[in-house]
Amino acid sequence: MLQACTVAYERAAKEVYRIYPKKGSVWALHGGKNADSGKPKYEFVVFLSGYSELYGASFGYLEKVEGFRTIFTRRDIGSHAIQTLQRGDMGTLSHQIPARKVSKGEDSTLPPSDCWELDPASLPSELLCIE
């Protein structure tokens, strides 16, 4: 079972907080609407750096590992493998997803790259099917 996660924040006013992604945290980004169902679509990302007002934060996209319900790995997409979230892009953040890095044993069927187990309660139900 995955535990709740803490978020990086800054108090901006008496009852106003700014929430920022931390290095190593996994988040869902708004990706528009699904044309068939009208439900929201999400992209899942892992942050490779913490957020700063000056530089933003770098992140890599995650993709589901075939044969698993909640295991994701980094998506390698050439020169776009690492993206930057700038100050004006903060509205694309949907929610932080509790996640843990998966340890791989000797006979693991997981890909050789880093993998994360994402909290199933934070994922859309259609993603929980095993392909």
> How many angstroms separate the CA atoms of 99 and 77, rounded?
22
pLDDT over 60 (residue 4): no
pTM for this predicted structure: 0.84
pLDDT over 70 (residue 6): no
The band of 1, judged by pLDDT with boundaries at 50, 70 and 90, is very low
Run of H or E including 85: strand 82-85
pLDDT, tens only, 66-78: 989 999 999 876 7
> How many angstroms separate the CA atoms of 131 and 120, rounded?
16
The domain segmentation of the chain, as residue ranges, is 21-128
Higher pLDDT, 130 or 45: 45
pLDDT for the residue numbered 5: 63
Give phi and psi for 21, each to the nearest 5: -70, 140
Token pair, residue 112, equals: 């050789």
